[in-house]
Amino acid sequence: RKEVEQDPGPFNVPEGATVAFNCTYSNSASQSFFWYRQDCRKEPKLLMSVYSSGNEDGRFTAQLNRASQYISLLIRDSKLSDSATYLCVVDYNNNDMRFGAGTRLTVKP
Amino acid sequence: DAGVIQSPRHEVTEMGQEVTLRCKPISGHNSLFWYRQTMMRGLELLIYFNNNVPIDDSGMPEDRFSAKMPNASFSTLKIQPSEPRDSAVYFCASSLRGRLMSYTFGSGTRLTVV
């Protein structure tokens, strides 16, 4: 089983749509969780952390379910500029991070 | 801060040649990571260092790959001999150990082995 698994997509949605990505992880000892964004031919960049109680940053909402070892990212009112690959990231031994393969999102006019 | 600096940005080499990728971490960061990204396998951790010491190299694909960190401001990833299946984007990242929010990637080196 992979350490971090994501649906690769692609997700093709119209502007203004709400879209959700899911991710599962295998290491029950993991303590820190993140979503990264990667644009085409660019490096991954931190989008947001994921907290146990769930957290929101503008149009983005992240949720964590420790019992099911499951993380989600919800994007509301999607914009053309949201088109990118979204990587689910989980810490390993609180030092290095393990990345999912990413979910590709395309927002169309 | 200049961020994590990788060189070269692009490398095209012939099969069998030695390839050396370079990375300068963010000043003050004490952990450094080498990743490889391909369409098929995604982003894979190859090796990481804490305070210049290799901690986990279990992701290094085979003996043709080696990595060094002679000091806190420089690391290399070497492939010798290179093969076409090594073609990928290689990313270096650095962080303050235990402070995952500080994790920062370089722009990557796009390697093509022909």
A7-41, pLDDT tens digit by residue?
888 999 999 999 999 999 998 888 889 999 999 99
Q: What is the pLDDT along chain B (114 residues), one digit of tens a residue?
A: 689 999 999 999 999 999 999 999 999 999 999 999 998 888 899 999 999 999 989 899 889 999 999 999 999 999 999 999 999 999 999 998 877 778 899 999 999 999
Closest CA to B23 of B11, B8, B12, B36: B8
Cβ atoms of A34 and A73 closer than 8 Å: no
Q: What are phi and psi of B27, to 5 degrees?
A: -60, 130
Q: Residue A95 pLDDT > 80, yes or no?
A: no
Say if the Cβ atoms of A100 and B97 lie within 8 Å. Answer: no
User: Is B70 in the A-facing interface, judged by CB distances under 8 Å?
Assistant: no
Out of B55, B56, B103, closest to residue A97 by CB: B103
Indicate the burial class of A101 (C-beta count within 10 angstroms; 0-12, 13-18, 19 or more).
Answer: buried
pLDDT confidence tier of residue A52, bands split at 50, 70 and 90: confident
Report the chain A residue with the minimal C-alpha distance to residue B103.
A46
User: Is B97 in the A-facing interface, judged by CB distances under 8 Å?
Assistant: yes
Cβ atoms of A23 and A72 closer than 8 Å: yes
